Amino acid sequence: MKIHTLKLNSQASMLTTALLAYGTTAWSADLPTLRDAFKDHFLVGTAINRAVTTGRGFRRSSEQVNTDIALVKAQFNQVVAENEMKWDSLHPRPGADGYDFRAADAFVSFGLNNNMYLVGHTLVWHSQTPHWVFAGTNPPPNTASAAPGTNRFGRYNGPRASREELLQRMRDHIHTVVGRYKGKIKVWDVVNEALSDGGTNTLRTSLWTEIIGPDFIAKAFQYAHEADPDAILRYNDYGLESSAKRRKLIALIQSLQAQKVPVHAIGSQTHVSVAWPSFAEMDRALTEMATLGLPIHITELDVNSAEGGQRSFGADIANNAATTQGGLVSDADRKLAEAYAGLFRAFLKHDPQVKMVTFWGPNDANSWRANGKPLLFDGNSQPKPAFHAVLAEAKRAAAAK
Ligand code: G3I
C-alpha cells in the first residue's frame, strides 16, 4: 500500500509541476516527443487539415500554420486526413472524371515527405457523401430516410439508384481511390460509423442500408481488398466505450469474420470527455474489443473539457455547438491531465493489441471541438499539463519493465 501511495504521490507531484509550468513552457523543437515516448508501444498520430498539408489558409496566420506544421512534424509519426479523403472532397461529381485529388494528393505528399505512416479516412460513410452517389430513377420510399445528412447540405431524399447501381459506384470509387494510393496509404477506414447508437438494431439506418442492404459493409471491404491486398482494412466507429454499442461492434465484426470478410483492425474513435471513461472503463472496453483477435487502433482521440460535453458521447458535428457550450469545467487543466493519464495507462496496459493512437487534431486551434480544448497542445502549440501527464505514463511504463 505504501509503495502504491508513493507512486501516486510521484504522479501527483509531476502533475503539479506540469500545472505550474503551463504557460511558461513555450513549444520548442527540443520538447520531449510523443512519437519517441511511445515508440516501443504504438504509433502516435494526428489528423491534419489542408492548412497543414499546403501551408496556408484555414483562418490561421502563416506564422500560426508554420507552428502547427512544426508541431506535427516533431511530435507525431502517423497522419490521417481530417476531411480531404472523404467522398465529398475527392469525388464531388459523378463518374470517372468527377474526382478532385488535389487535397488528397497534398496530404499523401506531406506524409511521405515527412516519413509518416499514412491512414486513409474514409471510403464509405453516411455523412459527407455527395447526393449524386445515391441518385437514380427509383422513387424514394414514402418514409423518406431518417438517416442523417449525407453531406453538409443535408440528407438526400430524391429518387434513388438501384442496389446494383450503388454497388457499382461504390466499387468504382474504392478501386480508383485505393488503387491510386496503393502502397502509400497503409491503413484504410473502409466503413465509418455504421453501427446504430440506440435501440436494438445493430446498424444505423442510412442510404447505404436502404439501397444496398446490410451487406454494403462486406462489399466495401471486399472491394478495398481487391484494390490493395496489402492494405490494413479497418472498421471505424465512435462510442465504443459504451458497453451497449461495443456489443453491437462485436456482433458486427464476428459476423464479418464468419463470412471471411477481410477486416483487419478495429478503429475506436475515442471522442470522450474529462468525465468519462476512467482508466477502468477504458481498460474494460479494450479487454472486450481484444476478444475479436484484431489489432485495435485509437483513431480520433480527443477529450472534451466543455461543460456541455460531459454527458455526450456522440461524434456528429451537427451536435458540436451543444457539446462545446457552457465554458470549461472547473479545474479543466487538471481534469484533462488526469483523464488523459488514465486513457494512456489503459492503452499501455493493452499495448500488444493497441497499435496506433491518433489524436483528432495536433492542437486545440485545429480541433473540430476547439471550444472544448480537447487536445494536449493549446492553440499556440504550447504543451498543456495533459501532455506532461501522458509522458509521465510512458515513463512509468518504462520503469515498470
Ligand atoms: O470545405 C468547406 C468549405 O468550402 C465551406 O465554405 C465550409 C462552410 O460550409 O464548409 C467546409 O467543409 C466543412 C469541412 O469540415 C471542412 O472544414 C464542413 O462544412 C464540415 O461539416 C466538416 O466537418 C468535419 C466533420 O467530420 C464532418 O462530419 C470536421 O472537420 C471533422 O473533424 C469531422 O470528423 C469526423 C470524422 O470524419 C468521423 N468521426 C467523427 C469526426 C467528428 O465529427
Does domain 11-400 fall under CATH 3.40.50.2000? My reply is no
Nearest CA residue ID for atom 13, ligand 1:
152
Mutate to test the pocket of ligand 1, among 237, 238, 368 (most ligand atoms within 8 A of CB): 368
129 lines ligand 1 (CB under 6 A): no
Residue 76 pLDDT class (50, 70, 90 cuts): very high
> In this predicted model, which residue has the larger pLDDT, 104 or 5?
104
| pLDDT(3) > 50 | no
pLDDT of residue 312: 77
| pLDDT(224) > 80 | yes
> In this predicted model, which residue has the larger pLDDT, 152 or 95?
95
Dist. CA 315 → ligand 1 center (Å): 12
Cell triple for 372 = 472544448
pLDDT of residue 198: 87
pLDDT digits (tens, 9 = 90+) for 10-65: 556 656 655 555 544 445 667 999 999 999 999 999 999 999 999 987 688 999 99
Dist. CA 134 → ligand 1 center (Å): 20
189 lines ligand 1 (CB under 6 A): no
Which residues are designated catalytic? 193, 300
Indicate the helix (H) or strand (E) that contains 7: helix 2-21
pLDDT of residue 280: 97
Nearest CA residue ID for atom 2, ligand 1:
152
128 lines ligand 1 (CB under 6 A): yes
127 lines ligand 1 (CB under 6 A): yes
Nearest to 133 by CA among 143, 124, 120: 124
Mutate to test the pocket of ligand 1, among 50, 80, 83, 123 (most ligand atoms within 8 A of CB): 83
Which atom of ligand 1 lies closest to the CA of 58?
17
pLDDT of residue 142: 72
Nearest CA residue ID for atom 29, ligand 1:
368
pLDDT of residue 11: 54
Instruction: List, in sequence order, the alpha helices (H) in 240-319.
Output: 243-258, 279-290
Phi, psi of 43 (to 5 degrees): -65, 150
Return d(Cα 94, Cα 15) in angstroms, integer: 53
Residue 154 pLDDT class (50, 70, 90 cuts): low
Cell triple for 336 = 484533462
323 lines ligand 1 (CB under 6 A): no
152 lines ligand 1 (CB under 6 A): yes
151-160 long-range Cβ contacts below 8 angstroms, 24+ apart: 151/88, 151/127, 152/88, 152/128, 156/131, 156/207, 158/131, 159/135, 160/134, 160/135, 160/136, 160/207, 160/210, 160/211
Mean pLDDT across the stretch 364-369? 96
pLDDT of residue 4: 44
Percent of the chain with pLDDT over 90: 79
269 lines ligand 1 (CB under 6 A): yes
Close Cβ partners of 315 (under 8 Å, ≥ 6 residues apart): 193, 238, 239, 269, 271, 300
Cell triple for 110 = 506531406
CA distances from 149 to 98, 152, 212, 367 (A): 21, 7, 18, 21
317 lines ligand 1 (CB under 6 A): yes
Dist. CA 122 → ligand 1 center (Å): 13
pLDDT digits (tens, 9 = 90+) for 102-139: 999 999 999 999 999 999 999 999 999 999 999 999 99
Nearest CA residue ID for atom 8, ligand 1:
152
- Mean residue pLDDT across the chain: 91
Nearest CA residue ID for atom 42, ligand 1:
315
- For residues 131 and 153, the answer to whether their CB atoms sit within 8 Å is yes
CA distances from 232 to 263, 306, 350 (A): 8, 35, 20
Nearest CA residue ID for atom 15, ligand 1:
83
pLDDT of residue 23: 47
33 lines ligand 1 (CB under 6 A): no
pLDDT of residue 2: 43
What size, in residues, is the chain?
401
CA distances from 366 to 4, 69, 294 (A): 38, 11, 31
300 lines ligand 1 (CB under 6 A): yes
Mean pLDDT across the stretch 326-354? 96
- For residues 289 and 249, the answer to whether their CB atoms sit within 8 Å is yes
Mean pLDDT across the stretch 138-146? 69
pLDDT digits (tens, 9 = 90+) for 240-298: 999 999 999 999 999 999 999 999 999 999 999 999 999 999 999 999 999 999 999 99
| pLDDT(6) > 70 | no
pLDDT of residue 21: 52
pLDDT of residue 41: 98
Dist. CA 90 → ligand 1 center (Å): 14
Nearest CA residue ID for atom 39, ligand 1:
315
pLDDT digits (tens, 9 = 90+) for 229-241: 999 999 999 999 9
